[in-house]
A and B are shown apart, each in its own frame.
Chain A
Amino acid sequence: MDSVLEAAIWFWIPLLLVPLGIWMSLSGKAKTPGKILAVSGFILVLISSWTVPSSDSTASGHLILSILAPSLLMAYGVHGMIFGGNVPVGKLDSSARWSGSLAILISLTILCLMHWYNLTPLWRNGEINPYWIVFWPTFLLFATSLCSVSAIALVGLGEDRLNEAMKLSVLSVIIAGIALVAMLFDGYFTTAEDFRNALWLAAADILGTVLGVILAIAAFAIVIWSYEKSLPLPSSSPPPSDEEIKHVISIADSHIGGEEE
């Protein structure tokens, strides 16, 4: 089979099925088939480096599969930390906070070991997955930026949240520190110079993606706004007839008054 066709069947079509399945599921018209479509598409993308090893694009599926375990561990940790605290519904045991924070710590450690130890995702012929050096600096830059925003938002928009904001600032500094260490010291398979080059591209990626999304949302808002503006004003409904007024009065009469004590 032609390698382009093979890549289309085993990688690109499954990749398209993921948003299509989510859309079908969210629209409520075909919830279960949508979920099945999205999950099967996602699984096919994850295993695409085995189904179409000749395609370079499948390195992305391989990377997502490689980081799946620490990502799930992080999600589990976040869930435990949130619902182990003071929440009105779905409260977990208070030990969930400790196990959750431990899970987050372990997941971050695994990600660090993927850079500084031999857990780095290896792809074809024992070579490093080319998208690892895209993922790692992007994750670090975006996480430090979001933690910083959250800290300022807690202080600026919340009340008496300085203590929590300080903890988030510390988390932001720790993640920035990891990035700084990666800039200075070589990883197991990548050099510090590789990371520094990738950091430039990651910053460009983040800014470009955020601006692109904002522009698309702005275009969407303009399209909806201009359509809504072009609609004629709804005509006023006619005043109630005498019969309607009598009917309303009779209903009101039956509800007002009440029993005398």
Chain B
Amino acid sequence: MREARSSWKLLALAAILPILVLVTINLSISDGYHSESFKRFGNALLTAYVLMGILLLGNLFFYADSRHRPFAPLVGMMVAIGIGLLVTWALISNDDLLLEANSGLRAQVLSNIVHLLVSATAMLLAAVLAIGATFAMITGRKRSILFEEEE
């Protein structure tokens, strides 16, 4: 159990470390950090949360088919998405907390969705490359012969 936990920590470190290295180099080259980074982080988090929540809400219909169509999980998930929407509305509307170079709430929300579409495409393509390369490495090894009869 301890080994499994430590390997998860190692994987998380492996995921963050290259990004941290590049950001640190960026920090040393540039004058400082980008002032809009926090806004981008907040907008990305809330948009991903709400859109993923909606996708999972659609997934609940498959779950409902095997459970005599209960109403409670649908309501629960809608409440969870509603909280995300409420937080988004509050942070964009009040005090310019998450408002980027957009005219208002509607423009910011639409811009967030389009931005997520582009960054999700980039992440998907990166995943195709990385996961594909991993499987290519695994299948690239010559087949080992376990028993003589296999020949």
A-side residues, CB < 8 A to B, are: 12, 15, 19, 23, 27, 57, 59-60, 63-64, 67, 71, 74-75, 77-79, 81-87, 97, 100-101, 104, 131, 134-136, 138-154, 156-158, 161, 164, 167-168, 171-172, 176, 179-180, 183-184, 193, 196-197, 199-213, 215-217, 219-220, 222-224, 226-227, 230
Q: Is B118's CB within 8 Å of the partner chain A?
A: yes
How many residues on the B side are at the interface (Cβ–Cβ under 8 A)? 79
Nearest CB of A to B78, in Å: 10
- Report yes or no: A156 in contact with B63, Cβ–Cβ below 8 A: no
Q: What residue in chain B is nearest A111 (Cβ atoms)?
A: B125
Query: Which residue of A is nearest B21, CB measured?
Result: A176
Q: B127 near A146 (CB under 8 angstroms)?
A: yes
Q: Using Cβ atoms and an 8 Å threshold, which residues of chain B touch A143? A: 125-126, 129-130
Measured CB to CB, the closest approach of chain B to A31, in angstroms, equals 15
CB of B123 closer than 8 Å to a CB of A: yes
Chain B residues closer than 8 Å to A136, beta-carbon distance: 122
Q: Which residues of B contact A138 (CB under 8 A)?
A: 118-119, 122-123, 126
Report chain B residues within 8 Å CB of A227.
70, 72-73, 76
A71 near B26 with CB under 8 A, answer no
Fill in one digit per residue for B110-133: 1 if any A CB lies within 8 Å of its CB, else 0: 110011111111110111111111
Partner of B52 from the list A140, A141, A217 (CB cut-off 8 Å) is A217
Contact of B44 with A204 in the complex, beta carbons under 8 Å = yes
CB pair A212–B37 under 8 Å, yes or no, is no
* Chain A residues within an 8 Å CB radius of B62: 27
- Bound-state CA distance A210–B15 (Å) is 11
Given A87-B139, A141-B19, A148-B18, is A224 in contact with B63 using a C-beta cutoff of 8 Å?
yes
The 5 A-B pairs at the shortest CB distance, nearest first, are namely A212-B48, A208-B44, A78-B132, A85-B139, A146-B130
Interchain CB contact under 8 A, B76 and A223: yes
B94 to chain A, nearest CB (A): 19
> Which residue of chain A is the closest to B79 with respect to CB atoms?
A223
In the complex, per-residue mask of B59-87: 1 if CB is within 8 Å of any chain A CB, else 0: 10111000000101100110010001000
When distances are taken between beta carbons in the complex, the residues of chain A under 8 Å from B134 are 150, 153-154, 164, 168
Shortest Cβ distance from residue B21 to the other chain A in the assembled complex, whole angstroms: 7
By the criterion CB–CB under 8 Å, are B23 and A199 in contact? Answer: yes
Interface contacts beyond A135-B118, A183-B29: sample of 13 additional A-B pairs, CB < 8 Å, sorted by A: A19-B55, A81-B133, A100-B136, A146-B15, A151-B14, A164-B140, A203-B37, A205-B40, A217-B56, A219-B77, A223-B73, A223-B80, A226-B76
Docked pose: A142 CA to B19 CA in angstroms: 8
- A150-B134, A205-B119, A226-B76 as given contacts; A145 in contact with B55, CB under 8 Å: no
A222–B56 CA distance with the chains assembled, in angstroms? 12
Query: How close is A202's CB to chain B, nearest CB, in angstroms?
Result: 7
Do A212 and B11 form a contact, CB below 8 Å, given A78-B129, A141-B22, A200-B33?
no
A146 to B53, CA, bound (A): 24
Kindly state the separation between the CA atoms of A61 and B58 in the bound complex, as whole angstroms: 24
Instruction: Give residues 31-59 of B contacting A (CB, 8 Å).
Output: 33-34, 36-38, 40-50, 52-53, 55-56, 58-59
List residues of chain A with CB within 8 A of the CB of B50. Answer: 212, 216
Contact call A212/B22, Cβ cutoff below 8 A: no
A-B contact pairs, 22 of them (CB 8 A): A78-B132, A85-B136, A85-B139, A85-B140, A97-B140, A135-B121, A138-B118, A138-B126, A141-B22, A147-B133, A148-B17, A148-B18, A150-B131, A154-B138, A156-B7, A167-B137, A176-B18, A193-B30, A201-B40, A204-B40, A209-B120, A213-B49
**How many whole Å from B107's CB to the nearest CB in chain A?**
9
Choose from A81, A179, A204, A220 the contact partner of B132 (Cβ within 8 Å): A81
The reply to whether the CB of B1 lies closer than 8 angstroms to some CB of chain A is no
